[in-house]
Amino acid sequence: MKKKRIKEYEDIIDTTTEHLQKCKESAKGIDKNAKNICVSVDNALDTLQKEKIFLKAVSEFESCVKNELWKTHERNKISGIASCNTASELADELMSQNKELANLSSTVDILNIAVGSGAATTFNTFSNIQEPDFQRNIKEIEIEDNTFDNIETIKINLAKINPSTVQKFECVVRDWSGSEDNQKHKILLNLRSVIYHQLLDIIAPEKNYCKAPWYKNGFKKRYCQMKFFILGMQDESKLLKSMLMQVEQVANDSQRYFDLLSKLGKYGGSRIDIETVFKATISTFALALRIRNSLP
């Protein structure tokens, strides 16, 4: 059963890789933005290859994987499927050659970051398997943890959007770094407070997002707030489908991680689960900022 789960994720990586390779082939030589697209695609392909090698090592020692880690893996799988679907749409848009590559370049950059975050989550989830042979097998695999870059992105943007929250966010990061493992779950509630209560509740209240052209009754609050934070009153039908898919992914993840911050922050959980949700929430918010900044 465990090997089947890993194989399913490997298949997602293979399919994403195929779509990205098509993106690269289609982008070559179309215009001056093609080089930037190819660089981002190459970075994503390199990351996916490392992630697959790492998963093969995990598969060999799947009996050593604690059951609690599979919940984290399954959440990451959802993000992996979303990135795969975005890569597929990007390939179609590039193959049609009737889109401005300048618009697609931002989507590819953001997809590259999303792929990197997914790989980092995979690595963080399974890298602590306490088996000497496993540790030797993964010693040469370098998957970058982009949490620091995400934190800096958030701080820079908060200073422009809502300066009063910068110091509070820095305090959350500092408390996280300085707290004992058995106290870290409490920091999740503080992170939730800064992003959702002190920022989104203020600049994306219901009275505003319910007027957006994309809003429908029944949409969940935190999904709507993040989507409004990114799009505002823009008509989503004017976006490239690949970009809209990324907006949807981030908005859905925002709702999901709000719920997890609440649950784990109140009741605790495994160290890996708590750490992963902390980093994933920061990654999701940083992605939201990058998408927001890329839109006209």
- Tell me the domain boundaries of the chain: 2-137, 147-294
Specify the pLDDT at position 112: 94
Low-confidence ranges of the chain (pLDDT < 70): 1, 29-33, 97-102
Burial class (CB in 10 A: 0-12, 13-18, 19+), 136: exposed
Specify the pLDDT at position 33: 66
Specify the pLDDT at position 42: 95
Specify the pLDDT at position 182: 93
Specify the pLDDT at position 185: 96
Specify the pLDDT at position 100: 63
Burial class (CB in 10 A: 0-12, 13-18, 19+), 180: exposed
Under 8 Å CB-to-CB from 194, ≥6 apart: which residues? 165, 168, 169, 172
CB-CB contact of 73 with 141 (8 Å): no
Specify the pLDDT at position 68: 81
pLDDT, tens digit (0-9, with 9 covering 90-100), for 237-294: 989 999 999 999 999 999 999 999 999 999 999 999 999 999 999 999 999 999 999 9
